[in-house]
């Protein structure tokens, strides 16, 4: 006889966004421990369908020995989509890509039905004005230790958020970001971020860019962005880069998650 398995100390709810006209699958993992004086750090996991449970388990297991792992008890939030794989895929192209007057597609996408795109501004409004205030109201969180994690297209969104609204999070974790999107348009946002002299008010931000060594052109893209950001040398932005040996686009996230989460306390 089988029974339904539930994740310990995990809440799940639907959140309808007025900005997106869409209902998100929100999952929240809450530590057993009492919150520290400043509240718990919080990890916002984009593509929560795929990565919430992995992030939850990294924190749950490694926070048991925080002095060695450098991962402390934290709230982990998954922001997921509903629907079939095809529906989720199209929704990702909309949610995680910046608006543009025109789009340039690589050959592999020219005949593909990827649905509409350019919804990143609305998704950022959802995060800032709908989800994050609700999280602050419901849970005891540290407002100065908020992390945004994304992989692939959602990794692109992590970068775009940093370059357009850096003050929203303190830690940005971009795994295999789709820097290639719209003919590498994210580099234009990076340059604008630099030219504005966007020193990040009151506290430093950190960015970690990771990629698997077997991800072909994405390795060069990640290296190129890292080099450009090092060249800009913004005083209030610490940038790190890591290439995971022998990992591809599908396998890289489990191998970099611990390293990424440690960044909060390094």
Residues with catalytic roles: 152, 215, 249
DSSP letter for 63, please: G
Which of these, 262, 99, 233, 251, lies nearest to 171 by C-alpha position?
Answer: 262
Rounded to the nearest 10°, the torsion over CA 68, 69, 75, 79 is 180
Residue 189 near residue 164, CB atoms below 8 Å: yes
195 within 8 A of 217, measured Cβ to Cβ: no
Return the H-helix or E-strand segment holding 9: none
| DSSP letter assigned to residue 179 | T
Q: Where are the alpha helices (DSSP H) in 77-197?
A: 85-95, 120-126, 132-138, 153-164, 181-184, 186-195
């Amino acid at each position: 006889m089988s029974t339904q398995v539930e994740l310990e100390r995990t809440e799940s709810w639907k959140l309808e966004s007025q900005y997106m006209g869409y209902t998100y699958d929100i999952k929240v993992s809450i530590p057993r421990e009492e919150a520290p004086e400043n509240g718990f750090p919080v990890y916002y996991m984009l593509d929560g369908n795929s990565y919430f449970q992995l992030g939850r388990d990294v924190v749950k297991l490694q926070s048991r020995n925080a002095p060695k792992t450098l991962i402390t008890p934290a709230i982990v939030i998954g922001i997921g989509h509903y629907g079939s794989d095809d529906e989720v895929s199209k929704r990702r192209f909309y949610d995680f890509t910046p608006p543009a007057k025109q789009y340039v597609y690589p050959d592999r996408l020219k005949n593909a039905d990827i649905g509409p795109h350019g919804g990143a501004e609305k998704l950022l409004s959802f995060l800032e004005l709908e989800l994050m205030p609700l999280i602050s109201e419901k849970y005891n969180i540290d407002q100065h230790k908020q992390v945004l994690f994304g992989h692939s297209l959602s990794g692109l969104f992590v970068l775009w958020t940093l370059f357009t609204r850096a003050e929203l999070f303190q830690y940005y974790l971009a795994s295999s970001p789709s820097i290639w999107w719209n003919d590498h348009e994210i580099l234009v946002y990076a340059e604008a971020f630099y030219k504005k002299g966007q020193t990040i008010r009151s506290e430093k931000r950190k960015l970690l860019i990771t990629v698997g060594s077997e991800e072909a052109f994405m390795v060069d893209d990640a290296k190129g962005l890292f080099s450009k950001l090092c060249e800009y040398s913004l005083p209030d932005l610490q940038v790190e880069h890591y290439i995971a040996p022998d990992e591809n686009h599908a396998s890289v996230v489990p191998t970099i998650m611990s390293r990424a989460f440690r960044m909060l306390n390094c």
